[in-house]
Structure 1
Amino acid sequence: MSRRRRVVLVPAPFQGHITPMLQLGSILESSGFSIVVAHSEYNAPDPLNHSGFMFLPLPDNVADCDKTFMNMMNVLDTININCKLPFQDYLAQLMENVEVDGEVVCIVFDTIMTFVNDVANSLQLPTIVMRPFSSAYSRAHEYLMDLRSENCLPLPECQMGETVPNFHPFKFKDMPLLLTNEIPDRLFEFLKKSHDIGSSCAIIWNTMDEIEHHHLSLVQKDFQVPIFSIGPFHKMAPTSKTSLIEEDNNCIEWLDKQAPNSVLYVSLGSITSMDEKELMETAWGLIGSEQPFLWVIRDKSVNGAKFNSQLPDGFDEIIGNRGCIVKWAPQKKVLQHSAVGGFWSHCGWNSTLESISEGVPMICRPDFSDQRINTRYVTDVWNVGWEMEGPVDRESVEKIVTKLMVDVEGKDMRKKAVDMKHKFQDSMKEGGSSFLCLNELTEFISTLSGL
């Protein structure tokens, strides 16, 4: 009997990063590899959702750290420092017990878990970087670093709406950081380190050639290692449960009672928050649109308040059965539901892929990181959504919701989204780009083990 071939995965401890890594684990497991997940104790995944995986918790010493959004850079730095030695010890033990535990073929790590390369080099193990975002976002990082090296930052406000040279249609305001402000050296060093793949021998991308051919071809030239675009991960591993927040499946029963394409799904992700005024204006705009909606309002997502405690007085009575509000929804199931006709999203990459792969057009409300790049894709490249720009007020909410869900423009947008859905499906069929890339990835990893 041949020895088991183990692939060690190292996810970053945030929902938008854990989700694709665990999905990738399910994909690799179905391809014949044994999966080990080495993860920080902070935001640890639930082993019960992945009974076939081996989980190795890494002590990170961040239990007492301030974990507000503004301090996440410090939290991530602490994790990268404190997880290094425990990870090296775990790997050394695995490598000593090959006959029992199987051979460690390679480590696949999230791009921001920068400690992994040092450990892998010391143990002479090959590594593969997993990019949980678009290839266009990776190129945005390169442009950002170029601007920095050329002493072009900060930029004047009047330049923010201009297109970045050789990066059409992306604008300076779409970049990962706000370019009109002074950006700390420490943050740039982190971006540079996380962008550099070091000694890694390949990159896995949660995207597909059908939607990012141009940028994938350019990053291939930049990195000079094999690139495997095998997305969308969630469709290649549809049974993988990855949510860190408990999902409320009762909303599916509510959706079952709604007409096809009639419901607007509203969810701004696991991190993004809003102030009380924006919540109130959104609520009154949804009321004024007269459209059915499913709205996710997390605990503490509005000024740290409890679930839906700051909604307008009498809101439940006004909307009646036309609205459903939950703390967290099973998003993939929601977007697959025939009643859902639109998605108001922060445009994280996972949410964007999940929406477009189901043919659901979008209202985009980006906040930070890759969300502005993704929004530009949705609005100006794929033409499957509109951006909600500027301060949120009830009139603008009502207008854009009606435009998407009722007007002829929205129906045309839905047809374009369905066309995009077919591209996703084609990529996963035999002979499609993601199908072929997955076969190539499986063969590539196998060669690393010498088997």
Structure 2
Amino acid sequence: MEKSNGQRVILFPLPLQGCINPMLQLATILHSKGFSITVIHTSFNAPKPSNHPLFTFLQIPDGLSDAETRTHDVTLLLTRLNRSCVSPFRECLTKLYQSAKEEKERISCLIHDAQWIFTQPLTQSLDLQRLVLSTYNVSFFHGHFVLPQLRRERLLLLQEQDDLVQEFPPLRKKDLSQILEEETELLDSYSDKILETTKTSSGVIFVSSCEELDQDSLTLARQDFKVPIYAIGPSHINFPAMSSSLFTPDDTCIPWLDKQEDKSVIYVSFGSLANMSVSELIEIAWGLSNSNQPFLLVVRVGSVKDAEWIETIPEEVMERVKAKGKIVKWAPQQEVLKHRAVGGFLTHNGWNSTVESVCEGVPMICLPFVWDQLLNARFVSDVWRVGIHLEGRIERNVIERVVRRLLLEREGEVVRERMKLLMEKVRRSVKQNGSAYRSLEHLVDRISSF
């Protein structure tokens, strides 16, 4: 770490796995640049302070019951959190600010997840600069504010389902249909507040995004938001952080991978939020087994509806699974994707997972479930052309065929070659004088100037 610069940055992550990781990654970067770090977090999905001994952690009550935190309705969960955290956050930040003044320590700014929508009046009253961090692809974050208008019009749904959505590329009409099925009034109101919170901030930080991945959307976002935008790229390449996983990874998958041939394994994981039915899990297990390729399948506890874990997979399938595959409850994903044995990634296309796969040059099979995953999958299959889209078909024959196409056939070789070129471009972006490197330098300078 560079010598302390006498400035403190306060971070406020959203308590979801895909939001905590990037925020703590940013904390690691800023600490390496000399900033002291304080993380304010909810008791729900609290990060482990022992994993980050150089940061100060302050926990606030979130007022949610166990039943409320178990909901699969993410919008409802986030709106409840935004309502219940206002007073505890105000009290915590005010005390922190007063304490810093007494000790003559300089608090540079607050950086919070873009989906916290209540912070502006408080930071304004404290005369504290406020930056927002988005864990979405730039294209989705910028484009999703048009959803309320598209929902009102509904005309798009009457047209060809394979057509592009002109107002929200590279989504297709059938993707938009799925997105618009999400809860309406609550979601639209929440999106409007996120947009307002973003436009009144001192800047937007996009983690894992860079010019090489999404240049057109970055240009549009700069025009529309009218605040500085920092696309700092997949900085975990240069700044490896301590684990911030809310789940305990099963490290036995690494020695298992060590025994497999190069580029032979299909890695399958659907992230920390996606849920599937018992029948979908069985189709996936059959398809993987029938492909006759080794596979590492992550089935998160509680991710299969009406099941505890994998007890619903028929014994016949489990026998085949044991012969060719391995099932774990959670995996150390970055380590898995780096492994020489992994030749493909069957993924839900969360943004973190998508970019991690790009960074390691692992081509993807796209099975998006909800929200921004649908757009990320279109980037993979239609824009970058570094993966194959399942188009929502969770059928054993389809999965068997696509695994074999990616790992064994000429089509897979072509996809792999394109992925290698994209990986090299993205990795160059975080090196000295690369686009993400320069953006990070501008961000550090800006925070230092507050």
| TM-score w.r.t. length of structure 1 | 0.94
Residue 192 of structure 1 corresponds to: 192
Deviation at 1:241, TM superposition (A): 1.2
Q: Which amino acid aligns with 2:338?
A: Q
- Given that 2:199 and 2:226 are in contact with CA atoms closer than 8 Å, whether structure 1 keeps it comes out as no
Question: Is 1:276 equivalent to 2:282 in the alignment?
Answer: no
Deviation at 1:306, TM superposition (A): 2.4
Deviation at 1:178, TM superposition (A): 3.2
Residue 136 of structure 1 corresponds to: 139
Residue 39 of structure 1 corresponds to: 41
Query: 1:51-71 deviations in whole A, cap 9, x for unaligned?
Result: 111111111111334334443
Percent identity between matched residues is: 40
Residue 28 of structure 2 corresponds to: 26
- Given that 1:3 and 1:103 are in contact with CA atoms closer than 8 Å, whether structure 2 keeps it comes out as no
Residue 58 of structure 1 corresponds to: 60
Question: Is 1:310 equivalent to 2:312 in the alignment?
Answer: yes
Residue 86 of structure 2 corresponds to: 84
Deviation at 1:139, TM superposition (A): 2.8
Structure 2 counterpart SS, 1:303: coil
Residue 164 of structure 1 corresponds to: 165
Structure 2 counterpart SS, 1:347: coil
Residue 363 of structure 1 corresponds to: 365
Structure 2 counterpart SS, 1:161: coil
- Given that 1:429 and 1:435 are in contact with CA atoms closer than 8 Å, whether structure 2 keeps it comes out as yes
Structure 2 counterpart SS, 1:156: helix
Query: 1:348-393 deviations in whole A, cap 9, x for unaligned?
Result: 0000000011000000100111001100100011000011124411
Query: 1:158-196 deviations in whole A, cap 9, x for unaligned?
Result: 4443212254433233349633x5953222010111133
Deviation at 1:198, TM superposition (A): 4.3
Q: Which amino acid aligns with 2:130?
A: T
Aligned length: 445
Instruction: Go from structure 1 to structure 2 and tell me whether the alpha carbon gap of 1:28 and 1:176 turns closer, same or farther (over 3 Å shift).
Output: farther
Summarize the alignment of residues 422-433 of structure 1 with structure 2, pairs less than 5 Å apart: 422-433=424-435
Q: Is 229-238 or 392-401 further displaced after alignment?
A: 229-238
Instruction: Go from structure 1 to structure 2 and tell me whether the alpha carbon gap of 1:176 and 1:82 turns closer, same or farther (over 3 Å shift).
Output: farther
Deviation at 1:3, TM superposition (A): 6.7
Unaligned 5+ segments in structure 2 are none
Residue 5 of structure 1 corresponds to: 7
Summarize the alignment of residues 46-445 of structure 1 with structure 2, pairs less than 5 Å apart: 46-98=48-100, 100=103, 102-148=105-151, 151-153=152-154, 155-165=156-166, 167-175=168-176, 178-179=179-180, 181=181, 184-196=184-196, 197-206=198-207, 207-445=209-447
Structure 1 counterpart SS, 2:66: coil
Superposed CA RMSD in Å reads 2.0
Q: In 2, distance between residues paired with 1:2 and 1:263? A: 45
Query: 1:79-135 deviations in whole A, cap 9, x for unaligned?
Result: 112211222222222222225483211010101111222321222211001010111
Query: 1:181-223 deviations in whole A, cap 9, x for unaligned?
Result: 5953222010111133142111100201111111101100011
Q: In 2, distance between residues paired with 1:160 and 1:69? A: 31
Q: In 1, distance between residues paired with 2:186 and 2:169? A: 29
